[in-house]
Homo-oligomer: A and B are copies of this chain.
Amino acid sequence: MLDPPEALIARPGFDLESRATDSRPGFDGSAKSGRRALRGASAELAELQERLYAAGVDGARDAVLLVLQGMDTAGKGGTVAHVVGAVNPQGVHYTAFKKPTDEELAHDFLWRIRQHVPSPGIIGVFDRSHYEDVLIGRVHSLASPEEIERRYGEINAFERELADAGIHIIKVMLHVGFDEQRRRLMKRLDRPDKYWKFNPADIDERQHWNEYRRAYQLVIDRTSTDVAPWFVVPADHKWYARLAVQQLLLDTLESLDLGWPPARFDVDAQRERLRTLAILPG
């Protein structure tokens, strides 16, 4: 895939309608070659994650935060399974943000988010995130327009703070089409092993399709910053979306130029200790 960040970035003013949901920016191969590329890069991702983790053990502050947003069926779950699933679970902190609890609602909207910010060396994954508070929050008027406006600023300040603390933020909107969503929802209704994934409320939300589009457009305009830009990933082709997210992760990890940490002890002295230590009678 060619320069994934450049192919997928959405800076303020980027028009969501200009990116077709069935397009494949930066990749002109077949679906088959795309799937092969995805599998092929899994080992590289796993090794880079191990290096990130090792750096964290050694005291480096770097962490990665992958934020996944998108309409129902956009492929957040599949991306987690097929992209993040390739790395050691020890180094992943996955959080699904659902409907807030009463306790969470009693706090500032970032309160519950902060509790899941990844520690050094960890890849954090947010399946939905603080952006729900300016998406469903706007569409369903769960907060006043003034409050929603204020939240954009608070989000930018929050993400700047994370970036300053060494967290590399990758914000992905999985951009699925209206017709493709119908196909995917219909599949859940056609297959008894998928019933559990279906919720009649998904169709309620679908009725607000254009309002969500506008809310996403505003999110991009207000919160795509230099330290935490948005990437709009066309998601009608699942294999493409997964490959794109994998490449964004790889690109971020490669940019850290992660070596293996040096020994923080005298290697020969430790070898000698180890060699001479016999089991004690016991």
Q: A: which residues have CB within 8 A of B?
A: 54, 57-58, 77, 80-81, 84-85, 87-90, 92, 94, 96, 125, 127, 178, 182, 185-186, 189, 192-193, 195-198, 200, 203, 206-207, 209-211, 213-214, 260-265, 267, 270-271, 273-275, 277, 279-282
Contact = CB atoms under 8 A, between A and B. Distances in A.
29 contacts: A54-B196, A58-B196, A77-B88, A81-B88, A81-B90, A84-B89, A85-B87, A85-B88, A90-B96, A178-B279, A182-B277, A189-B270, A189-B274, A192-B260, A192-B262, A193-B260, A195-B260, A195-B262, A195-B263, A198-B263, A198-B270, A200-B270, A203-B277, A206-B274, A206-B277, A210-B279, A210-B280, A210-B282, A213-B282
A189 B265 CA distance: 10
Contact of A81 (B58, B89, B213, B270): B89
B58 A280 contact: no
Nearest to A211: B282
Contacts of A81: 88-90
Given A196-B54, A260-B196, A271 B186 contact: yes
B178 A90 contact: no
A182 B274 contact: yes
A267 B178 contact: no
B210 A57 contact: no
Nearest to A192: B260
Contacts of A279: 178, 209-210
A80 B85 contact: no
A189 B274 CA distance: 10
B203 A274 contact: yes
Nearest to A181: B274
Contacts of A182: 274, 277
A7 to B, nearest CB: 26
A261 B194 CA distance: 9
Contacts of A207: 277, 280
Contacts of A281: 210
Contacts of A80: 88-90
Nearest to A204: B273
Contacts of A206: 274, 277
Contacts of A280: 207, 209-210
A265 B200 contact: yes
A274 B127 CA distance: 25
A263 B57 CA distance: 46
Those 5 A-B pairs whose CB atoms lie nearest each other, nearest first? A210-B282, A54-B196, A195-B263, A81-B88, A196-B261
B282 A214 contact: yes
Nearest to A266: B200
Contacts of A209: 279-280, 282
